[in-house]
Amino acid sequence: AEDVMPGYTHLQRAQPITIASYLLSFVEQLERDLARLKNCRGLVNISPLGSGAVAGSTLPIERKSTAKQLGFADISYNSIDAVGDRDFCAEFIFDCSLIATHLSRLAEDWIIYSSSEFGFIRINDSYCTSSSMMPQKRNPDILELIRAKTAGVYGSLMAMLTILKGQPSGYNRDLQEDKIHIFAASDTVKASLDMVCAVLAHMKFNTKKISAGLEEGFLDATALAEYLVGKGLAFRKAHGIAGSLVAYCEEHGKKLAELGLDEFKKHSPAIEA
C-alpha cells in the first residue's frame, strides 16, 4: 500500500501518490455517506403514533410514553405534517444515490486501471467474463454493472421527489408508492457494496506496471516548481520555469531527472545541486 502510483487530474498524469492514499480517498467518501445515513436515522426515529388521520386524537393518550416504549427518540409535533411527511424517504434515497455515485466512480477507476492500456490492477477471474467472440478478452462486467445500476438509484430518487412535489397537505395515497423506491435503492446499494468488497478482496496491483507509469508525464514538475518557490520565487514565475524545462525535456527526449545542473541553470540560476 506504500507503493507509489500516478495521481490523475482530467485523467492526465499529475503527481505521484501512494496506493494507500488513493484507496483512502474512497474511505473518506464512504465515511461521509455513513454520517449522512446516521443523520437520516435520526429523522426516521420520530414517532407519528397518535397523529390520527390528520388532526390527532381526542383520546387521552400519552404519546411520549408510547414512543419511548416503542424505542423512538421523540414524537412528531404537528399531526398534519406527520401523516404526510416522507422527507426521510427522499433523504434516504438521496443518501443511497451518493453512495452509488461513489461506488460508480470507484468502479470506473478500476475499469480503466484494469484495461490493457493501463494494466495497473488485475481483477480476479471470478469477477470478469470472457467475450462471446474474442477469446483473449477479460471483461470487468461486475464493475460495469455497479456503474450502470447507479442510474436506477437516481431514478428512484427522482421518482420519490416527483411523488412528493405535487401533493396537497395531509395524507394522500400517492405515498403508498414510496416503498418501491426505498427498497429498490437500498437493495441496489447493498448489492453494489458487497460486490465492491469482494472485488477489492481479490484484486492485485501490478506494481511493476504502475512504476513504469511514473516514468512518463513529468510527475515531478510540480515538485520542481515548489522547490523554486522555496528559493524565493513567486509561484507564477516558478510555474513558468518548470513548464519551460518540461518543454525542453520533450524537445530533447529527456526526463527532468536526467538533466544536468548546467541545463537547469540555463532556465533558472536559483536551481542548485
Q: Which residues are catalytic?
A: 10, 131
94 Cβ neighbours under 8 A, 6+ residues apart = 157
**Radius of gyration in angstroms for the set of CA atoms belonging to the chain, rounded to a whole number:** 28
Q: Rounded to whole angstroms, what are the CA distances from 23 to 32, 120, 246, 250, 268?
A: 15, 14, 30, 32, 38
Closest-CA residue to 216 (of 238, 242, 249, 244): 249
Q: What secondary structure, in 3-state letters, does the chain show?
A: CCCEEEEEECCEEEEEEEHHHHHHHHHHHHHHHHHHHHHHHHHHCEECCCCCCCCCCCCCCCHHHHHHHCCCCEECCCHHHHHHCCHHHHHHHHHHHHHHHHHHHHHHHHHHHCCCCCCCEECCHHHCECCCCCCCCCECHHHHHHHHHHHHHHHHHHHHHHHHHCCCCCCCHHHHHHHHHHHHHHHHHHHHHHHHHHHHHCCEECHHHHHHHHCCCCCCHHHHHHHHHHCCCCHHHHHHHHHHHHHHHHHHCCCHHHCCHHHHHHHCCCCCC
